[in-house]
Each structure stands twice: as structure tokens, then as C-alpha cells.
Structure 1
Amino acid sequence: MKKLILSAAIILGGLSVQAATPAVKTSMVQSVNIQDEYKEIGADAVPAAVKSTIDKSFPNTKLEKAYKNDKDQYKLEISSGDKKYTVFTDASGNIIKK
């Protein structure tokens, strides 16, 4: 009888160790979206010098969207087939960043 009680105590003690809840670690990711102060404009509002630069530098592309900021810089979204590109230019048509 003593062995039966002792065996039950050992088994229950062993089960309680397995029942411990594991520590769960969670991570939090913060992201910040910075507004780049460009306002969307129509394709007809883009200067001819900028359009000419895009046509020469990126042949066979289509101007999808155009944006302008307070410094007269343009952000142009162009596409060629299924590929899309973003090009930054100034008012004279000089490419700032590709």
C-alpha cells in the first residue's frame, strides 16, 4: 500500500512539472511613415523639360502619376510593361534620384 501511494505521488509530481506553462515572448514592431510633402498633379501640369527628360532617359515608358513639392521638384511614377519605377526630377528636368 505504501508503494502504491508513493508511486502515485511520484507520477503526480512528474506531471505537475510538465504542466508548467512556457514563457511566451512577444515582440512589437513600430513603423513610421514619413509624408514626403508631394502633392499629386495631373500629367498635363508636368513641364515639357521634365517630360522630355523622361522620354530620353526612359524610352518606351508611360507616365502613370506625377507629384510636385514646394521646391518645384517632381516625383514621377512611370511604368514599362509590368515594371514600375519612381523618378525624382527638378523643374529643369535634371534627375535627382532614381
Structure 2
Amino acid sequence: MKKLILSAAVVFGSLSINAATVVAKTELVQSVNIQDEYTEVALDAVPAAVKSTIEKSFAGTKLEKAYKNAKNEYKLVIASGEKKYTFFTDASGNIIKK
């Protein structure tokens, strides 16, 4: 009888060890976007090469807004119907991936 009680205590004791609480670790990832300062420019001030790129690469769209930074790079907002798209070019009209 003592062995039965002792074995039951050992079994219950070993089961309670596995019932420990699992602590889930979550990592916090913080991202910082560093952007060049773009200032809005008039649509007339956009170089002809940039306008030509818009006409060739994005036919059927309209230039809505244009922004320029100190590196002579342009941030352009174009519209096709109700959808708006943003892309970047240099002063020569080459598309820049950002």
C-alpha cells in the first residue's frame, strides 16, 4: 500500500513538472525610414526628359504632383483614373528604385 501511494505521488509530481507555463518571447522590431526632404515644385518646372519618361513608361496617366530634393531627384505622383502612383526619377528621366 505504501508503494502504491508513493508511486502515485511520483507520477503526479512528474506530471506537474511538464505543466509549467510557457513564456512566449516576442521581439520588437523598430524600423526607421530616412527620406530626403522633397519640396513641391510646379508641374512646369519638371524637366522635359522626366515628362518624356512619364509618357513612354506610363502611357495614359496624368502627372498630378511633382517634388524635388537637393540631389535633383524627382518624386512624381501620377494618376490613372482614380488610382494614384508614386515613383522617383533623376533629372535625366531615369527611374530610381526606392
The TM-score bracket by the shorter chain reads 0.5 to 0.7
Q: What does 1:8-47 correspond to in 2, within 5 Å?
A: 8-42=8-42, 44-47=43-46
Residue from 72, 90, 95 that aligns with 1:97: 95
1:13 and 1:57, CA in 2 relative to 1: closer, same or farther beyond 3 A? closer
Listed as ranges, the gaps of 5+ residues in structure 2 are none
TM-score (norm 1): 0.66
| CA apart distance, 1:66 | 1.2
Assess, with a 3 A threshold, how the Cα gap between structure 1 residues 27 and 48 changes in structure 2: closer, same or farther.
Answer: closer
**CA distance in structure 2 between the aligned counterparts of 1:16 and 1:56, rounded to whole angstroms:** 71
- Counterpart check, 1:88 vs 2:89: yes
**C-alpha displacement at 1:18, in angstroms?**
2.0
Please report the TM-score for the alignment, with normalisation by the length of structure 2: 0.66
CA deviation map 1:46-98 (0-9, x unaligned): 336256412344321111321111244322122334472413131xxx21324
Structure 1: runs of 5 or more not aligned: none
Q: Calculate the aligned-residue CA RMSD, in Å.
A: 2.8
- Residue identity (%): 53
- The answer to whether structure 1 residue 49 and structure 2 residue 48 are counterparts is yes
Q: Distance in 2 between matches of 1:19 and 1:71?
A: 61
2:48 maps to a residue whose letter is A
Count of matched residue pairs = 94
Instruction: Tell me what 1:5 maps to.
Output: 5
